[in-house]
A = this chain, B = another copy of it.
């Protein structure tokens, strides 16, 4: 049945049918009253997702443009920055900072592990001139959720550096309290836990960050956040916004609010626990520890079979798409995305398909054992302990 596709990668993620329908409402002019009403309704509803009272600005672009916007608005050529590198997206922050000739230091962490806040503290004590710390909240390439609250606290205790966080593959899928935790700039994209196609960046900045942005002479135009903040006061966008995706965003927010953000986050934690339990039962080695693992994506590093063979097999048999490894983990891991429009029932189905794939490539597993482990986690969560 070619119509049926199972997209279980850490973004883009499947789109809910009601969001699809919302996206094809009649086009409107972006300078019209109708557009301003739409935009004005959306901004305040994004604030709880970020955990901020600041405006959440929306750019027509994909996630990397959001990372670059944070960099060129907050930092200028020659200034010292620390980039925490826990995987491929930490590398990307480094590339962006080096492109703009910042004075870049890296804090490299073994891929699959989370950064230790003490290491950040130690660096900053030795480098008091650091202007910003770039950190990946969920490192998509390794399925690690870095302890962003503790990192922000560590920075605050030792430095005036801004905390700039890439939340692309977790915001909307995990608790985030930007203001309370002291994150200065937080970025996410539309195509992950926000349940939309790619093409929107969401970004917010603290008062401290805005003061830095206002004083920053680093050139930028399309990514100039001051322009977006100014237009947002008038419920508009400085450049033509991606109207159809904003229509979809309104419906995606309806869905999230109807479930309740607390329940959305709880569902993501449950899906993580179900997958990890299945992996343990099937003796599939998890790349990350329970503590470091993200609620939105899980990585498995098989030793007894070829990750790529498994991915090909499930793709062929079920149109189930899993992600592979990136850069230094290429060919060594496979990753299961479980965020956004994805339920515990979808995870049970994914695990059953995964077991069949493992069986077909000759891996030594017992059919149903992973599924049963995930089922038990689900029942336990529902208070129906057997």
Among A23, A29, A31, residue most surrounded by chain B Cβ atoms (within 10 Å): A29
A323 at the interface (CB under 8 A from B): yes
Tell whether, in the assembled complex, residue B24 and residue A15 are in contact, meaning their CB atoms are under 8 Å apart.
Answer: yes
| Contact partner, A26, options B5, B30, B100, B239, Cβ 8 Å | B5
Docked-complex contact B62 and A240, CB < 8 angstroms: yes
Contact B222 A61 (CB under 8 A): yes
Q: Is A64 engaged at the interface, CB distance under 8 Å to the other chain?
A: yes
Contacts A23-B24, A24-B23, A60-B62 given; does A244 touch B199 at CB 8 Å:
yes
Tell me how far the C-beta of A35 lies from the nearest C-beta in chain B, rounded to whole angstroms: 10
Q: A240 to B64, alpha carbons, bound, how many Å?
A: 8
Q: Does A116 contact B (CB under 8 A)?
A: no
Which residue in B26, B28, B65, B219 is a CB contact (below 8 Å) of A61?
Answer: B65
With CB as the reference atom, state the residue of chain B lying closest to A21. B24
A26 and B15 CA atoms in complex are apart in Å by: 7
* A182 at the binding interface (Cβ < 8 Å): no
Q: Residues of B contacting A24 with CB < 8 Å?
A: 15, 20-21, 23-24
Which chain A residues have a beta carbon within 8 Å of chain B's beta carbons?
5, 7, 9, 11-15, 20-21, 23-24, 26-32, 60-65, 68, 95-96, 99-101, 189, 191, 197-199, 219-224, 239-245, 321, 323
Listed by A's residue number, 6 A-B pairs whose Cβ atoms lie within 8 Å are: A7-B26, A11-B240, A12-B29, A199-B244, A242-B245, A244-B244
